[in-house]
Chains A and B, each alone.
Chain A
């Protein structure tokens, strides 16, 4: 028997497409963010609050992934920005080729900020690079404060943790300090914001984080031109 070394990624085809997307986003100065959470943690609500904060001339676009239904795209289209639903038909995550296809009939030169809402799932989306500048994980206080320890991959790979539904803290046995400590055990120095999308609490912190990333992206673009 001969042993032949193969040194490459298992998902090398996804990685290749993701790098192509990343290069296109860089070329068009687009900040792309990939939002990931369990089902029902509030990704769509966070996007609603984000889109409603923008002026009508903001160059923002949204791709939203679900296994079935156009419901999220309908919720998000109310704000007047380009929104496209990706229905995966059973697949539990978005992959780079789905993003490439969804972008095919959009003019990238008209977009500065591309927000991708992944399929609700804390496991599988963490394995698939979509060409994003950063992943964002949303965790709601009706889940467990040990989620970062149970699903370390996504917390490790995400730049920001958005703790949502903090208005419910008085009613649920969720230790927010423990949740944050667990997140930082998994990912040292992880940035964290606390929000309630329902009550609109803490959104200024989230929007400030988003704005800082947009400025950093614009600064890179300016220095390159």
Chain B
């Protein structure tokens, strides 16, 4: 289980980013986790909550945007969600497709208390 380390990296980033918003609380951090990232969203939420509890980061919530594997058809160009059991293009049926997404492990956004404009934003 490495979600604790990953949740901790998210919180380190929140603390770093918080310096750009002096005096304003950060209420939410959004992350994108791809199906192929090797990170379990439920374990990630559990670790995140455990790490935030009792710290000055409270209240801070985690918004996980879970991304399925996506392919682009080499024959017709359609992009589609591609479950492992069925990689055929839903439009033309071709099986020759290219991976275009689903391994993300990215910070997407912060929700910050309203206030003066961010430094450097």
Contact = CB atoms under 8 A, between A and B. Distances in A.
B51 interface: no
A10 B48 CA distance: 13
Nearest to B21: A4
A153 B5 contact: no
Given A3-B110, A10-B13, A124 B2 contact: yes
Contact of A156 (B10, B17, B21, B36): B36
B114 interface: yes
B106 interface: yes
B107 A11 contact: no
A10 B9 contact: yes
Interface of B: 1-2, 5-6, 9-10, 13, 17, 21, 27, 31, 35-39, 69, 84-85, 87, 99, 103, 105-114, 118, 121
A91 B106 contact: no
Interface string A1-32: 11111111111110000000000000000000
Nearest to A154: B38
Contacts of B2: 91-93, 123-124, 127
Contact of B108 (A7, A126, A156): A7
Contact of B36 (A3, A93, A152): A152
A127 to B, nearest CB: 5
27 contacts: A1-B111, A2-B112, A3-B110, A3-B112, A5-B109, A6-B13, A6-B17, A6-B108, A6-B109, A6-B110, A8-B13, A8-B106, A9-B106, A10-B9, A10-B31, A12-B13, A91-B2, A123-B2, A124-B2, A127-B2, A127-B38, A149-B84, A152-B69, A153-B36, A156-B103, A185-B87, A188-B99
Given A11-B9, A126-B38, A1 B106 contact: no
Given A10-B31, A157-B103, A186-B84, A127 B6 contact: yes
A1 B38 contact: no
B1 to A, nearest CB: 7
B51 to A, nearest CB: 14
Contacts of A11: 6, 9, 105
Given A123-B2, A186-B84, A153 B103 contact: yes
Q: Shortest 9 CB-CB distances between A and B: which pairs?
A: A153-B38, A124-B2, A126-B38, A6-B107, A4-B110, A153-B36, A10-B105, A2-B112, A156-B36
B43 to A, nearest CB: 10
Contact of A10 (B6, B35, B118): B6
A147 B53 CA distance: 36
